[in-house]
Structure 1
Amino acid sequence: MDKILLNGLMFYGYHGLFPEENKLGQRFTVDLELITDLKPSGRSDNMNDSIDYGQVYQVVQKVVESEARDLVETVAEEVAQTLFEAFKKLDAVKVYIDKPGPPIPGYYKSVGIEIYRERQDYV
């Protein structure tokens, strides 16, 4: 199982249950594991045989920085689905979204969610 790893992608979004989250927004950090066969690109040295990291960033940015969602779970699901639509070579993806300093009682560095999806989950 080959992976492309993208770590610490940072975006500004307006997701959350509380009105102040939707009004003020906050930073979100996204880590991705893209499961794909890297043998063809490793042998050819041709980007057309792989998945372009820059394009991945743009796809995720569009999702995270667009319409506000109540749940980070929804954002993660939309990230996964959009990545499968954009990259036909993608077999599976793990999406981790970190939400630093959530406005909930107590002291937190962050909260986060992680999902794992395979292409067949969206057929």
Structure 2
Amino acid sequence: MGIIKVENIRVFAHHGCLEEETKIGSEYRVDLQIKANLKTSSKTDNLVDTVDYVFLNRIIKEEMALPSKLLETVSKRILDRIFDENIQVKKATVWVSKINPPIGGDVEKVTIKMTDKRKK
């Protein structure tokens, strides 16, 4: 088993419960960690034998582009797509952070962290 991390993916998106958030949009940071069997790919040196981080980045960008009220919803969609589209992923954790959230204080970011495992 091995770990692949894709870190500090920066996207501009339109999530939030306030109408202004969905109209104006804001900056987000997404981090992802997946667990998969990397033994085969370490021997074959073939991209098809691993989890392509370009694939992971694409899913994150596509799901972040779909507006949601809650970051929990976006996080769950990201995890669901990863498991639906790549059989090699056994476990995944995603962190979705809203930079400078409009919560009436000097807050750098708020982060939602969700983890899921492949159902057998």
Indicate yes or no: 2:33 matched with 1:43.
no
Aligned residues between the structures: 120
Q: CA deviation at 1:11?
A: 1.3
Gaps of 5+ in 1: none
Gaps of 5+ in 2: none
Matches within 5 A, 1:104-115: 104-115=103-114
Write the distance in 2 (CA, Å) between the matches of 1:108 and 1:58: 28
- The structure whose residues are more often strand, as a share, is 2
1:73 corresponds to: 72
Write the distance in 2 (CA, Å) between the matches of 1:80 and 1:55: 13
Q: CA deviation at 1:13?
A: 1.0
Equivalent residue of 1:97, what SS? strand
Matches within 5 A, 1:1-123: 1-66=1-66, 68-120=67-119
Matched residues, percent identical? Answer: 28
Q: TM-score, normalised by structure 2?
A: 0.96
Let me know the Cα RMSD of the aligned residues: 1.0
**Where do 4+ consecutive residues of structure 1 move more than 3 Å?**
none
Q: TM-score, normalised by structure 1?
A: 0.93
